[in-house]
Amino acid sequence: MKYYVLFGPPGAGKGTQAGAMVERYNLCHISTGELLRSEIAAGTELGLKAKALIDNGNLVPDQVVEDMIEAKFRGTKGVDGFLLDGFPRTLAQAEALDSMVEKHGENVTACISIMIPDSLIKTRIAHRALVEDRADDARPEVVEHRIETYHAKTEPLIQFYKAAGKYKEIDGTGTIEEVRSRIFEAMD
């Protein structure tokens, strides 16, 4: 079983690229953002708590996200692996992921990191807010907080995966096809 971590700042194109990656490599796409948004849309207790945090640009507690991912690992059949999008975002989550996959005698295969400059993050998120009607993307102070959170809490994962020999950085600028080609080259 393959376990890929799809990594990058908000607006890097992770969601845009994930579908092609899933199709080409027969992976189950686990987007923590989509899992949480479905809980919010369903109005569950978890969804209401998550909505309050997300609306202010904060992260949902690790244990909640880890439990959702573990359930997805257990309940998914007929794939060659998983593509984790939005998890891990912190060193503690990366260590938790390692523990989860080690229970199955496996290891994280690679961290595919799509990187773009902060100026492009803001442009892409503003566009996404309009196109996808994402209220969480429409407030500049929330976007700025997300970028700061990414730099402070998520960027340390680069060194974590580099030290493990599993980090593959992709230039996320250019057309969707150019970025996709770079991703496939790294995964092949």
Judge whether 146 counts as a catalytic residue: yes
Q: Which of 51, 89, 180, 182 is catalytic?
A: 89
Q: Which of 146, 168, 180, 182 is catalytic?
A: 146
CB-CB contact of 47 with 39 (8 Å) = yes
Structure tokens belonging to residue 168: 């593959």
Judge whether 14 counts as a catalytic residue: yes
Q: Which of 51, 124, 128, 182 is catalytic?
A: 128
Alpha carbons 74 and 29: distance in angstroms, whole number: 14
CB-CB contact of 142 with 85 (8 Å) = no
Judge whether 153 counts as a catalytic residue: no
Judge whether 180 counts as a catalytic residue: no
Q: Which amino acid is at 8?
A: G
Task: Tabulate helix, strand, coil % of the chain (nearest 5).
Answer: 60, 15, 25
**Cis amide leading into 88 (omega within 30):** yes
User: φ and ψ at 59, to 5 degrees?
Assistant: -90, 150
DSSP letter at 80 equals S
Task: List the catalytic residues.
Answer: 14, 89, 128, 134, 146
